[in-house]
């Protein structure tokens, strides 16, 4: 794997018309953003932790983090490692007695774990080259909603559990709203759920 770029979770959002969720990662070195469609449970798990909300009983990602800690295994970092056939792949890097162990994971699960154990999130430069979006000032100028075909009507993209920390994400809101939605699609993909 080539160069890794540190990322931060910019926001977790839901497309109101399709009820699909997306996590948006921001390049800490610049203005590149990586949107990844994820499932509603993973979106909730990530958003809850980012807001400091704790479930009454441990959720799956909490249980996994606690089990690793009890076994003496430390999560070192997570990597969005590959984009193949429109599907994102992630790797969880664990430290077991000084030995680096990599575990394959869905990006949504890797991110939910990363926010629980407060470790860095990276994306491979190759993934960013394939799928990252820059801040294009013309990106928000679409005249028509792709789903309804109605001029000037935008499908709302709302933040899950809070407001965006960066007003420039209005451009991404417009971008995500313009995506073609395939409600029957499954899997963990660039334009589909993770």
Report the C-alpha gap between 83 and 101 in whole angstroms: 21
Rounded-to-5 percentages of helix, strand, coil across the chain:
25, 35, 40
Structurally, at CATH architecture level, domain 4-177 sits in Roll (3.10)
Q: How many CB atoms lie within 10 A of CB 83?
A: 22
Residue 10, CA distances (Å) to 85, 159, 172 in order: 25, 10, 11
The enclosing H or E element of 176 equals helix 169-177
Structure tokens belonging to residue 130:
């394939």
Give the whole-number percent of the chain exceeding pLDDT 70: 69
Q: What letter would DSSP give residue 7?
A: E
Residue ranges of the domains in the chain?
Answer: 4-177
- The 10s digit of each residue's pLDDT in 8-41 is 999 999 878 888 899 999 999 888 999 999 999 9
pTM of the model: 0.72
Report the C-alpha gap between 96 and 86 in whole angstroms: 32
- The 10s digit of each residue's pLDDT in 41-69 is 999 999 999 998 888 898 899 999 999 99
At residue 36, φ and ψ (nearest 5 deg) are -130, 120
């Amino acid at each position: 794997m080539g160069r890794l770029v540190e990322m931060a979770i910019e926001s977790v959002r839901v497309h109101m018309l399709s009820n699909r969720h997306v996590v948006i990662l921001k390049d800490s070195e610049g203005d590149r953003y990586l949107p990844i469609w994820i499932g509603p449970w993973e979106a909730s798990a990530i958003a809850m932790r980012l807001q400091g909300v704790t479930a009454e009983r441990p959720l799956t990602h909490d249980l996994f983090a606690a089990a690793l800690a009890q076994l003496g295994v430390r999560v070192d970092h997570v990597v969005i490692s590959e984009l193949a056939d429109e599907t994102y792949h992630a790797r969880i890097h664990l430290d077991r007695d000084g030995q680096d162990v990599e575990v394959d994971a869905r990006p949504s699960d890797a991110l939910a774990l990363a926010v629980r154990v407060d470790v860095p999130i990276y994306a491979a430069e190759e993934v960013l080259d394939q799928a990252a979006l820059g801040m294009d000032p013309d990106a928000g100028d679409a005249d028509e909603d792709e789903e309804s075909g109605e001029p000037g009507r935008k499908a709302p993209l709302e933040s899950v559990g809070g407001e965006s920390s960066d007003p420039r994400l209005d451009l991404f809101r417009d971008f995500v709203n313009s995506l073609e939605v395939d409600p029957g699609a499954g899997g963990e993909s660039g334009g589909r759920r993770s």
